Amino acid sequence: MGYLQFLFLISSMVISAQSQTLDTETILNGYEKKIEGQDFSYQSSIPVAKECLLVRATNGKSTMEWETASVPSNIKGEYVTFAWLAGLGSSPGPAKFNVEVNGIQKFSFWTKDKNQWEDVAEDGSVLSFKNDMIDRSGDRFGFMYLKVPREKIKKGESLRIRITGEKFEKESWYMTFKFALESGLSFRSFPALITEDGKEKQLGVAAITHFGNPAVAKIYIDGKLLKEASIKFGYNYMKLALPKVEKEKQVSYKLIVGDFIDKGKITLNPVRKWRVNFVQHAHTDIGYTRSQTEILGEHLRYIDYALDYCDLTDNYPDASKFRWTCEATWPVNEYLRSRPSEQVERLKKRVAEGRIEIAGMYFNFDELPDEQILQHPFSL
């Protein structure tokens, strides 16, 4: 098992689906069941949410349709809001997507570089998006909200939502993630130690999904308050200082957010202490990024820099002094031939004292040269 895999091994998650009240609105799951569309797997603003439906703005025929949660009989307020996790990709260029609700064209939106937008239908319904994350391609991920006047929906029934990409001949896309709005807590313990108030603690993290008004979350371990923090609608991530244990121990946890309570147990394991040595490593790939004539000047500068760093760390403890390896002798030969005698003497001094090492291979070779070529490299 790899080290990173082990970091995520100790995990517990107990969540319960429920409707939340947001001001005068009822918030319901905007995605409950797929009707049609292309299945896909991708990142989102909530790490555990990866499975989604995908449409693109290519030929005007790419479409998806799904069903929301049904409307409960005890809804309150003037509006009912359906929320779902979404992604919008405009890196190939902006494109337009159309939205039907129960078979009726209601909204249109563009995959533009906007963190927040809304579109209002003639019947007073509102479709909006609020960004939570932007990836390195500029694609946006967050929640879509469909706000519908209460008199426009029927209790006990769900909505059918269809999104179709218009014909733009682009790969621009829209995603609806198959992720239900479920409040709860995901607990993880990591094999690492942190210091808090001068005491060693074990590192833990809590991922809280909260679908309601901004609130205060309280996390307890074995009945003692461990963390109290403000959380927002959606996904919340926080670091925790867990009790340090010397042997395997099972502890209970509890999350309280208003009237919502989630609890369970998690196993803490003792943290093994490691000594980590950071070693300077040099590597020479002649011609890998540019030709030899272009790259040579940089390799000569690398040796200049190495000599300067040796000077700057002369007063450091021996284990902390800068060291460098000239992995190929070709740039060293060129250095001896082209640099002033003062620089050459500096290099010889550092080599003699073991601060700079020169490897024996003239270049680094791959598996192509055979034994005869390696014996006579300069005959080519």
Domain ranges (residues) in the chain: 31-177, 182-268, 292-379
pLDDT reported for residue 377: 53
Please provide the DSSP assignment of 4-67 as one string.
HHHHTTSEEEEEEE--EEETTEEEEES--EEEE-EEEE---SSTT--EEEEEESSSS--EEEEE
Q: Which CATH number fits domain 292-379: 3.40.190.170, 3.40.640.10, 1.10.1240.90, 1.20.1730.10?
A: 1.10.1240.90
**For residue 366, what pLDDT is reported?**
67
**Whether the Cβ atoms of residue 68 and residue 32 lie closer than 8 Å to each other:** yes
Both structure tokens of 325: 């390896």
Quick check: 139 and 90 in contact, CB under 8 A?
A: yes
DSSP H or E stretch at residue 328: none
**CA distance linking residue 83 with residue 28, whole number of Å:** 6
pLDDT of residue 228: 95
Q: pLDDT value at position 296?
A: 87
Q: What is the DSSP letter of 214?
A: S
For residue 15, list its beta bridge partners. Answer: 184
Q: What angle do CA 200, 202, 206 make, to 5 degrees?
A: 135
pLDDT at residue 286, rounded to an integer? 72
**CA 1 to chain CA mean position, Å:** 22
Specify the pLDDT at position 144: 96
* CA–CA distance, 106 with 102 (Å, rounded to integer): 10
Residue type, 34: K
In CATH, what class is 31-177? mainly beta
> What is the largest distance, in Å, between two alpha-carbon atoms of the chain?
90
Say how far apart CA 73 and CA 84 lie, in whole Å: 21
Plot region of 138 (φ>0 → left; ψ -120 to 50 → alpha; else → beta):
left
Distance CA 352, CA 323 (A): 12
pLDDT of residue 40: 97
CATH fold match for the domains 182-268 and 292-379: no
Q: What is the pLDDT of residue 283?
A: 74
Per-residue pLDDT of the chain (380 residues; tens, 9 = 90+): 333 332 322 232 222 233 333 444 578 999 999 999 999 999 999 988 999 999 999 999 999 999 999 999 888 788 999 999 999 998 788 999 999 999 999 999 999 889 999 999 999 999 999 999 999 889 999 999 999 998 898 889 999 999 999 999 999 999 999 998 888 888 888 999 999 889 999 999 999 999 888 999 999 999 999 999 999 988 999 999 999 999 999 999 999 999 999 999 989 999 988 888 776 666 777 777 778 788 889 899 999 999 999 999 999 999 899 999 998 899 999 999 999 999 999 999 999 999 999 988 887 766 677 777 767 655 44
Output phi, psi for 3, to 5 deg. -65, -45
CA pair distance 118, 108, nearest whole angstrom:
10
Element (H, E) at 174: strand 173-177
pLDDT at 15: 29
CA angle 118, 119, 120 (to 5 degrees): 120
What is the spatial distance between Cα 184 and Cα 204, in angstroms, rounded to a whole number?
A: 16
- Which two tokens mark 143? 């929640």
Cβ–Cβ < 8 Å for 89, 111: yes
pTM, whole model, 2 decimals?
0.65
Q: Where do we find the tokens 């008199």?
A: 151
Query: How many Cα atoms are found within 13 Å in the side-chain-facing hemisphere of 307?
Result: 19
How high is the pLDDT of residue 378?
54
What is the per-residue pLDDT for 74? 83
- Which CATH code fits 182-268? 2.60.40.10
Q: Cβ neighbours of residue 260 under 8 Å, at least 6 residues apart?
A: 18, 183, 212
